[in-house]
Amino acid sequence: MAEAILEVRGLVKHYPLTKGILFRKQIGAVKAVDGVDLDLTAGETLGIVGESGCGKSTLARMLVHLERPTAGAIRYKGEDITRLSGRALKAVRRNIQMVFQDPYTSLNPRMTVGDIIGEPFEIHPEAAPKGSRRSRVQELLDVVGLNPEYINRYPHQFSGGQRQRIGIARGLALQPEIIVADEPVSALDVSVQAQVVNLLDALQSEFSLSYVFIAHDLSIVRHISDRVGVMYLGRVVEIGKDAEIYDHPTHPYTQALLSAVPVPDPEAREHRERIILTGDVPSPTDIPSGCRFRTRCWKAQERCAQEVPLLAVPAHLTVVPGPVQHPSACHFAEERHVVPGGQEEPTGGGTGGTGASGGQAAEGGDSGDGTEGGTGGGGGLAPG
């Protein structure tokens, strides 16, 4: 296995809850991220899935240094970057860029596309000398499949898919090694989602990028990811290669999420098992003792309230050869086929959510399709 370009260990972000106007007193904390461990290997895509509020965006913001962790370490090529500042931090930040969810609000409406994409050069002038910036921005527009002649246009003159391409071009400007994409296609039409995912895929090979790809859509995550981490209430509860997670899940929460993914094949749909979770997601201010999933888990036993399950290959599964041998934070982890015969890799554009809030694994609509469309280059315009 190639070496890890990014290692995350025990990463924590707690937002203090305070009371009082004059004498602010901390009365608790929102435990948005509460001990995340993961590795990102050079050149791979690590997908992160989980319900709304489980801490995905908070994790993303810490990875790109938009927020400082409360505790834990983020190591980039072996160096802990969590406490860096000044010039050393600036150098590292150049290599880890972010693509945001909402192409409507993440682009400044008063700036031209050229200024938006070229803005990182103001902070890192060494990345493109002044005289070459315009042509560099035009190159970037071309790379993401937009017409370089649109350099003087404003964001409102583009469609949602095109705006996300602008966001991606901006993310690429400093030639980073890692891109953290936080729900990069969630705000887009289903038909356009697949095009943007395919663009990210093509750019990864072209520029040897490593991705952390965050989404609540399990189908899209499978399409793009080499490995997938499942988050619940601020922690990764199961992680492995995409086939390990999707076809051989061992954590009850993953099994419940997968059971809610729409299955396009009517026969498979008939035989798939639906797991309906009961109970609400606990508040991140009041996380259950032991296993944090226990209040919704149908397998919970006394031990689950006492002992925190660690994210590791469960001891009783180390003797079972094959894909069940992957880290799963459950005392009683066991394989369960929720979708009969394993799933074919979806073609992208699916709409499978990660289950509804309120503790119910919801029935979603049918998986969408439409992987055609520009994957960058050639100056073609993304429809939509």
Ligand X SMILES: Nc1ncnc2c1ncn2[C@@H]1O[C@H](COP(=O)(O)OP(=O)(O)OP(=O)(O)O)[C@@H](O)[C@H]1O
314 binds, among ligand SF4, Mg ion, ligand X, none (CB under 5 to 8 A by kind): none
Q: Which of residues 143-162 bind ligand SF4 (CB under 6 A)?
A: none
**Rounded distance between C-alpha atoms, residue 35 and residue 297, angstroms:** 20
Nearest to 94 by CA among 206, 175, 180, 203: 175
150 binds, among ligand X, ligand SF4, Mg ion, none (CB under 5 to 8 A by kind): none
Q: How far is CA 238 from CA 52, 146, 273, 330, in A?
A: 17, 38, 20, 9
**Least separation, in Å, of the C-beta of 183 and Mg ion?**
6
In this structure, the chain runs to a length of 384
Contact string (CB under 6 A) for ligand X, positions 194-233, x = contact = ----------------------x-----------------
284 binds, among Mg ion, ligand X, ligand SF4, none (CB under 5 to 8 A by kind): ligand X
User: Which tokens hold the place of 114?
Assistant: 């050229």
**Least separation, in Å, of the C-beta of 273 and ligand SF4?**
17
**Phi, psi angles (nearest 5°) of residue 30:** -85, 115
| Residues touching ligand SF4, count (CB under 6 A) | 12
Is 252 an interacting residue with respect to ligand SF4 (CB under 6 A)?
Answer: yes
55 binds, among Mg ion, ligand X, ligand SF4, none (CB under 5 to 8 A by kind): ligand X
CB neighbour list of residue 249: distance below 8 Å, 6 or more residues apart = 238, 255, 258, 335, 336, 338
Binding test (CB under 6 A) with ligand SF4, winner from 81, 304, 317, 382: 304
Contact string (CB under 6 A) for ligand X, positions 24-43, x = contact = ------x-x-----------
Binding test (CB under 6 A) with ligand SF4, winner from 216, 293, 352, 367: 293
User: Which tokens hold the place of 38?
Assistant: 């993961």
Which residue is associated with the tokens 């400007």? 173
340 binds, among ligand X, ligand SF4, Mg ion, none (CB under 5 to 8 A by kind): none
317 binds, among Mg ion, ligand SF4, ligand X, none (CB under 5 to 8 A by kind): none
Nearest to 251 by CA among 268, 269, 276, 232: 232
Q: Which residue is nearest to Mg ion (CB)?
A: 57
Q: Which of residues 311-330 bind ligand SF4 (CB under 6 A)?
A: 330
- Using the rule CB under 6 A, give the single segment among 111-119, 127-135, 202-210, 293-301 that binds ligand SF4: 293-301
294 binds, among ligand SF4, ligand X, Mg ion, none (CB under 5 to 8 A by kind): ligand SF4
Cα pseudo-dihedral 174, 176, 182, 186, rounded to 10: 70
CB of 175 or CB of 301, closer to ligand SF4: 301
**Rounded distance between C-alpha atoms, residue 166 and residue 162, angstroms:** 6
Asked if 12 contacts 33 with a C-beta cutoff of 8 angstroms, the reply is yes
Asked if 359 contacts 281 with a C-beta cutoff of 8 angstroms, the reply is yes
Nearest to 46 by CA among 74, 5, 14, 10: 5
**Rounded distance between C-alpha atoms, residue 38 and residue 180, angstroms:** 14
CB of 30 or CB of 297, closer to ligand SF4: 297
- Using the rule CB under 6 A, give the single segment among 46-54, 111-119, 248-256, 304-312 that binds ligand X: 46-54
- What is the CA angle 116-117-122, rounded to 5? 80
The footprint of ligand X (CB under 6 A) covers 15, 30, 32, 50, 52-58, 216, 284
Contacting positions for ligand SF4 (CB under 6 A) = 252, 291, 293-294, 297, 299-300, 304, 309, 330-332
